[in-house]
């Protein structure tokens, strides 16, 4: 079983409840960027990661360059799940043909990556994504994986680990997320794993609402390192078009994420429960 981060080396006790509120998918759209930036500036969301292949990458990269105080990772991307909003690799698709469909776009589903992507082309493309981020002036605090695609197989997980070592960055690993993509056997004893990962779900969104789900989550948060993965964006015309026929993690969901994690009552609940913020920048100190 993989070991959890040794938080005592950072000055925390085993009884501390630590929380990272992490915003995925920055760079996806103007709406995603604007909501992420506002959520960071309000001080409740304390970590985010950027999708390099997306059209709005440079906008978010400029923010990251000029605001290095915020925890920022690279959201390594191999899929494009949207029906009408498409993007592909940063490399010419002729250099990474196993990663793209007939139109030169990333596959929509993880299973297509699992079946068709060649690990050497995956590594080549992801190195290009990281290098583009570095060239744009981003100083990343970690690497993570869009749709957790890099957890699909042992071979892809090996590429993920290799990139972390090569760029001297911690990688986001989770037993729960690996199990969710059908791969738990590939963890190593040397891996540092976040054990308590929390994500909203569509069933709750339609029934009790994400506000209630997140409220109960925070009220019952356990001691140790917790990460809540959110996707803040505004439910405007742009985001509705991005999310056509995709209500799961859709524009309404993303607006709910933004609303809850910028609500002063949420900050008050964290303070009431003595939940302490933690970032990848801190974790970086004990994993490299």
**CA 144 from chain center: how many Å?**
6
**2 lies in a domain?**
no
Q: Which residues of 20-29 are buried (b: 16+ CB within 10 A; e: fewer)?
A: bbbbbbbbbb
pLDDT above 70: percentage of residues in the chain: 98
Residue 180, in any domain of the structure: yes
Domain count for the chain, please give it. 1
- Which domain does 33 fall in, by range? 7-287
pLDDT digit string, tens, across residues 118-146: 999 999 999 999 999 999 999 999 999 99
Q: Across the chain, what does the average pLDDT equal? A: 94
Residue 93 sits in a domain whose CATH number is: 3.20.20.370
Q: Is residue 66 part of a domain?
A: yes
Asked whether residue 137 is domain-assigned, the answer is: yes
Residues 7-22: what's their mean pLDDT?
Answer: 92
Query: What pTM, to 2 d.p., does this model score?
Result: 0.96
111 belongs to a structural domain: yes
Residue whose pair of structure tokens reads 């709005």 in the numeric block: 56
Q: Which residues is 84 bridged to in the sheet? A: none
Tens digits of residue pLDDT in 246-271: 999 999 999 999 999 999 999 999 99
Q: How many residues does the chain have?
A: 288
Domain assignment of residue 1, yes or no = no
Task: Spell out the alpha helix ranges (H) of the chain.
Answer: 30-41, 57-66, 110-116, 119-135, 154-167, 175-180, 202-206, 210-219, 237-242, 251-261, 264-272, 280-287
Is residue 145 a part of any domain in this protein?
A: yes
Please check the confidence at residue 184 and state whether its pLDDT lies above 90.
no
- Roughly how many angstroms between the first and final C-alpha of the chain, as a whole number? 20
Q: What is the pLDDT of residues 32-68, one digit of tens each?
A: 999 999 999 997 999 999 999 999 999 999 999 999 9
């Amino acid at each position: 079983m993989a070991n959890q981060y040794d938080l005592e080396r950072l000055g925390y006790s085993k009884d501390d409840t630590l929380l990272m509120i992490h915003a995925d998918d920055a760079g996806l759209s103007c709406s995603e960027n604007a909501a992420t930036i506002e959520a960071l500036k309000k001080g409740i969301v304390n970590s985010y990661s950027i999708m390099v292949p997306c059209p709005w990458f440079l906008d978010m990269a400029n923010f990251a360059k000029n605001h290095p105080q915020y925890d920022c990772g690279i959201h390594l991307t191999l899929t494009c799940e949207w029906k009408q909003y498409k993007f592909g690799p940063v490399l010419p698709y002729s250099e990474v043909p196993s990663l793209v469909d007939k139109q030169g776009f990333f596959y929509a589903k993880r299973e297509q990556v699992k079946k068709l992507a060649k690990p050497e082309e995956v590594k080549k493309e992801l190195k290009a994504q990281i290098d583009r981020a570095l060239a744009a002036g981003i100083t990343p605090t970690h690497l993570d994986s869009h749709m957790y695609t890099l957890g699909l197989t042992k071979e892809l997980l090996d590429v993920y680990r290799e990139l972390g070592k090569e760029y001297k960055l911690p990688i986001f690993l989770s037993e729960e997320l690996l199990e969710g993509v059908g791969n738990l056997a590939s963890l190593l004893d040397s891996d540092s794993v976040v054990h308590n990962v929390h994500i909203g779900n569509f069933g709750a969104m339609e029934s009790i609402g994400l506000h209630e789900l997140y409220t109960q989550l925070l009220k019952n948060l356990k001691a140790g390192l917790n990460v809540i993965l959110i996707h803040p964006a505004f439910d405007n015309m742009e985001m509705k078009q991005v999310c056509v026929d995709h209500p799961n993690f859709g524009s309404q969901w993303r607006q709910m994420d933004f609303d809850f994690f910028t609500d002063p009552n949420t900050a008050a609940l964290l303070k009431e429960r003595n939940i302490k913020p933690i970032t990848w920048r801190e974790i970086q100190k004990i994993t490299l």
